Amino acid sequence: MSRPLKVGLVGTGRIANRHMAPYLQHPDRVQLTAVCDVVEPAARDYAKRAGVDDVYLDLDDMLRRADIDAVDICTRHDLHAPQAIAAAEAGKHVLVEKAMANSVQECRDMIGASDRAGVTLMVAQHLRYSRHAAAAKRFIDGGGLGEIEAVRHQSTSGGNMPDDTGHWMRDAKYAGGGMLMVTVVHHLDLLRYFVGNVKRVTAICRTLQPYRLNGAEDEVTAILEFENGAIGNVFTKGNARSPEPAYYLVYGNKGTLASTPPEPTRKMAITQFGRHRVSLNTGEVLDVHNEDDLKKILQPEFEPLPADPADQHSDDYFVNEVLHFEECCRTGREPISSGRDNIETIKLIMGIYESSRTGKSVDLDTL
């Protein structure tokens, strides 16, 4: 067996904790060799918990190490492009958290730098790396839903959220936008994975909460037109209550795939997505004679879509994601969520912003 991929991780905040498991569980494949954060106590605390001796306060210093093969970037969105480009230019493979970057041009620059250096560039879209996502992808690609005709996504962030003015995730200057860039990006990316690329969008975005800064939107309605002819609808609203915090649906001419509601746990709700239910059209024409007939029409049965344990190593998406990255670095295979793929997710979000700004539909190939 070849030696493990040696990784330096930058940004030891919230999501870096979820990236730690693969390094601790699979030292034969990925070895966390160094960590970097501008806040020294955060970096030292993380390094201690991960069993890493080498701590850096500056990424360039960490990149000078010849024995690091790859960099795992877990910092703010505005830092993704400069840090990914610096890492690629230092000859390191790059795993970068979502959202890939704050503009389409930044994504192009990241892809260009990694191509020139001949290194792997992968975006950590963790929802793609569950056994359940693999099962849904196989089901859809195998024609289980028939021709995909429409998709729908809705998310709300819950009522009475704390006023967290000043957090970078609520400030478009750092996050590149609002709810679309911070949370909805997961669902839009998953829908792209299942259905394909979007070619045109028409949208309205608004900012209602005073603690959302520099135009970070908290209300969006968008119409999507996919390249394969499907249409879509995206609605998101901050500080709002709804029976389910988020869901998505994929409608085909043979049936419908629906996400399952996440369990309410103390973990981030977004990490819970990825399980699905399916309801297939039976073709049966129902006359309504009684309550049972009515129920069959109004509340059709949705069966869980079973996951195949053979599809992924683990129940933990983050473990699968990092192991997929290692495999791609080792073999040269294009990651499922490569930079070349994920620029399309950023184009979709930037297209929604552009449409809202101009009041016109936007063709994504013009971005």
Ligand X SMILES: NC(=O)c1ccc[n+]([C@@H]2O[C@H](COP(=O)([O-])OP(=O)(O)OC[C@H]3O[C@@H](n4cnc5c(N)ncnc54)[C@H](O)[C@@H]3O)[C@@H](O)[C@H]2O)c1
Where do contacts with ligand X occur on this chain (CB under 6 A)?
Answer: 10-16, 36-39, 42, 59, 74-77, 79, 97-98, 126, 268, 270-271
Which tokens is 44 given? 């030292």
Distance, in Å, from the CA atom of 128 to the CA atom of 135, rounded to the nearest integer, reads 11
- Distance in Å, CB of 99 to ligand X, minimum: 6
Distance, in Å, from the CA atom of 335 to the CA atom of 35, rounded to the nearest integer, reads 24
Task: Name which of 39 and 286 has its Cβ closer to ligand X.
Answer: 39
Task: Name which of 87 and 145 has its Cβ closer to ligand X.
Answer: 87
Position closest to ligand X via CB? 13
- Distance in Å, CB of 15 to ligand X, minimum: 4
- Distance in Å, CB of 209 to ligand X, minimum: 19
Task: Name which of 238 and 255 has its Cβ closer to ligand X.
Answer: 238
Helix (H, G, I), strand (E, B) or coil at 5: strand
Helices and strands counted in the chain (H then E): 12, 15
Q: Which amino acid is at 317?
A: Y
Task: Name which of 38 and 150 has its Cβ closer to ligand X.
Answer: 38
For 103-115, letters b (16+ CB in 10 Å) and e give: bbebbbbbbebbe
Helix (H, G, I), strand (E, B) or coil at 188: helix
Task: Name which of 120 and 272 has its Cβ closer to ligand X.
Answer: 272
- Distance in Å, CB of 338 to ligand X, minimum: 17
- Distance in Å, CB of 37 to ligand X, minimum: 4
Distance, in Å, from the CA atom of 272 to the CA atom of 3, rounded to the nearest integer, reads 33
Helix (H, G, I), strand (E, B) or coil at 124: strand
